[in-house]
Amino acid sequence: MRAAFASRFDDADPLAALTVGEQPEPSLPDDDWVTLRVTASSLNHHDLWSLRGVGLRAEQLPMILGCDAVGVDPEGNEVVVYPVVPTPGDPRGMSILSEHFPGTLAERVAVPRSNLLPLPAGLAATDAACLPTAWLTAWRMLTTKGRVDDAEAVLVQGAGGGVATAAVALAVAMGKRVYATSRDAAKRERIAGLGATAVEPGARLPERVDVVIETVGAATFDHSLKSAAPGARIVVSGATAGHEPAVNLRRVFAMQLEILGTSMGTPAELTGLLAFCAERKVRPVVDSVVPFSRVEEAFARLHSGDVFGKVVVDHTS
């Protein structure tokens, strides 16, 4: 079957490590796994990390990339894939598709049956394919970790990204006052269109916020600390611009800040997110939809950094 996979690692030029070509049909590691026909997937920064060699070992190559999928199960049902699978031997006890088990950027993918959720009525496959990784991460950052119900104002850093646009759209839909930084004037304009107040990175906000959504890391972390109200939650799920920021600990204890790490979310949280999007008519922010036949272009677009929202891959064209 046709698939997009890491054939080697290249830290400097991850696109050079990407191969699109034939791979063996999925094998089922256990009785409760099934094979899906993938109809839509989306890219995540995770796929670029994998091509750089972060989180994968050479002996795991070739590894089919892709964490997100909507597909058709063996009974013909349209399903959304929860991408976190139990993985004995991994120190986390779990892994995300494409870390140990082949990923979703393929014609077909094997997943445990218990990881399949029904595609809600009214939600297009290409929209739902954005939700299981980036949007789920943003949902958990806001709800379970950030306790956003108790918040009035939220700051989202690096707001052009997949997780960040999700956090902006969700926090606006929850009725919060949302501030978002982006380096790019055109992206700031589009963020404002989502209902947030867009500012340049590092800009002083008109008020301190109760929740900060951090996926950028070193480039923005000091601003996150300075923007936080007493008792605020700074929730971290990524570090695109560096994972070793200087942290002013005086500010952390004097302002009684909580710095919380998180990764992905639970099946119950994905169910909650799907219901929220379907009922509240919230739709993912989609940068572009690229046919699977031109999947290399999707990678190039994500790698350019010039994205606003999710890069989706349509496997039916």
Binding site residues, ligand NAP, CB under 6 A: 44-46, 49, 133-134, 137, 158-164, 182-184, 187, 201, 215-216, 219-220, 237-241, 263-264, 302, 305, 307
Q: Which is nearer to ligand NAP, 88 or 261 (CB)?
A: 261
Mention every residue, 6+ apart, whose C-beta is less than 8 A from residue 123: 274, 277, 278
Closest separation between CB of residue 182 and ligand NAP, Å? 3
> Smallest Cα–Cα separation from 82: which of 65, 104, 61, 64?
104
Cα separation values, 135 from 174, 185, 225, 282, Å: 14, 24, 24, 11
Q: Which is nearer to ligand NAP, 34 or 80 (CB)?
A: 80
DSSP 228: E
Cα distance between residue 45 and residue 51, in whole Å: 10
- Please say whether the beta carbons of 22 and 107 come within 8 A: no
Q: Which is nearer to ligand NAP, 34 or 172 (CB)?
A: 172
Q: Which is nearer to ligand NAP, 34 or 270 (CB)?
A: 270
Strands 258-261 and 228-236: parallel
Cα distance between residue 176 and residue 146, in whole Å: 13
Cα distance between residue 308 and residue 31, in whole Å: 40
Cα separation values, 81 from 19, 125, 195, Å: 24, 11, 30
Closest separation between CB of residue 122 and ligand NAP, Å? 25
Closest separation between CB of residue 240 and ligand NAP, Å? 4
Closest separation between CB of residue 167 and ligand NAP, Å? 9
Q: Which is nearer to ligand NAP, 108 or 188 (CB)?
A: 188
Name the one residue in this structure whose structure tokens are 């034939």.
22
Q: Which is nearer to ligand NAP, 202 or 291 (CB)?
A: 202
Q: Which is nearer to ligand NAP, 34 or 211 (CB)?
A: 211
Q: Which is nearer to ligand NAP, 26 or 162 (CB)?
A: 162
List % helix, strand, coil for the chain (3-state, nearest 5).
30, 25, 40
Q: Which is nearer to ligand NAP, 108 or 299 (CB)?
A: 299
Cα angle: 99, vertex 258, 166; to 5 degrees: 50
157-196 exposure pattern, b = at least 16 Cβ within 10 A, e = fewer: bbbbbbbbbbbbbbbbbbebbbbbbbbbeebbebbeebeb
